[in-house]
Amino acid sequence: MKDFFLQKHKDAHCRARTGELHLSHGTVQTPSFMPVGTNGTVKGMYHSTVKDIGYNLILGNTYHLYLRPGCEVLQLFDGLHKFSNWDGNILTDSGGFQIFSWSKLRKIYDEGIKFQSHIDGSRHEFTPEKVVDIQQVIGSDIAMVLDICSPPGIDRRKTIKAMDITHAWAERSIARRDSLEELTGRAFRGKLFGIVQGGFYEDLRIQSARTISAMDFPGIAIGGLSVGESKEDFIKYLAITAEEVTYAKPRYVMGIGTVDYILEAVSNGIDLFDCVLATREARHGTVFTDDGMLNLKRASNRLNDGPIDEGCTCTACSKYSRAYMHHLFKCNEMLGGMLASEHNLTYLYNLMLRVRKAIEEDRFLSFKEDYLARFYADGGLNRK
């Protein structure tokens, strides 16, 4: 079997790189954006459409899938792939961020997290071991450990406590992964990634990056970013963390979907990223173009007989006009959100093709500069 991660080319002028992830359900070219399929589906998209665009790795969420449909259902189908009829790869978040987001419904202690379901208020508990077990049931190709996210503004003492618990949980997750075959007769099916924390303190970020990098994980996620901090802090702490996370393993930054954040991550040698932004914005009528974000609801599109984006191969651009898309959104027709979602995911997939080509040709930094200058020339809005 091929090595899990193969680095193909590093840009001569920065840390950007291309590579390949060899997973159970096929190869993924990196850098790669992952569409978010929280509940086992990318909203408004057929799996076949997602695959036809070119994606072979989507993201699901352990917290949501644990609550619905539940492990009993997923076990019946031997995992999410068969249940959802998706034959590509699946990465699952641990659910820690979702529990963090609903802070009034949870309590963190050394053993794990006690929380109430946001759906019906029922009480549950996640431990590092249980989260590994759930992702084994899901059949995740890449699985995340349970961690504690430290938001901006939290004091140093609380950040240290959260980081120390995250590190202890990482060790327990590895132990659970390694003991699964003995416990259940089946080895862990995916690749378990550790998560770096440390909040917004330089020394803690460095400490966490070095600690997690030294553990027996095949890949590393950089957590605790894009959680409400300023763009300046995102850039600063991403660079600090990426500098210390081992370069020998694939690196993943969770929850980034704007083009400037994606390209900043790539320039720091990040291989994977995901965000709901592409499909969420699409459902509200906003789409990506090289000239910024285009709001299809604007009156200026009512008589525009051109496509969203010249040269784009998505269904919306190849078959319909901006005027028709404008009409769909003004009438609240669900087809509008479906077509716009396909466009945004097609756009980001093609952007990654352009990014990888620029890296292979050692010109990523100039590509990034030129691309962002055009995208934000009108404040990030396409007014054409």
Catalytic residues: 93, 274
Q: Are 308 and 319 a contacting pair, CB within 8 Å? A: no
Q: Are 229 and 196 a contacting pair, CB within 8 Å? A: no
How many beta carbons lie within 10 A of that of residue 271, not counting itself? 26
**Which of 220, 95, 92, 227 lies closest to 159 in space, CA to CA?**
227
| Residue whose structure tokens are 């007769």 | 185
DSSP codes, 272-326: EEE-SHHHHHHHTTEEEETTEEEETTSGGGTT--S-SSTT--SHHHHH--HHHHH
Q: Are 24 and 81 a contacting pair, CB within 8 Å? A: no
Q: Are 241 and 209 a contacting pair, CB within 8 Å? A: yes
Handedness of CA 257, 64, 227, 11 (dihedral sign): negative
297: Cβ contacts below 8 Å, ≥ 6 apart: 285, 326, 329, 330
Distance from C-alpha of 248 to C-alpha of 197, rounded to nearest angstrom: 19
Backbone angles phi, psi at 145, to 5 degrees: -75, 160
| Residue whose structure tokens are 């009512």 | 302
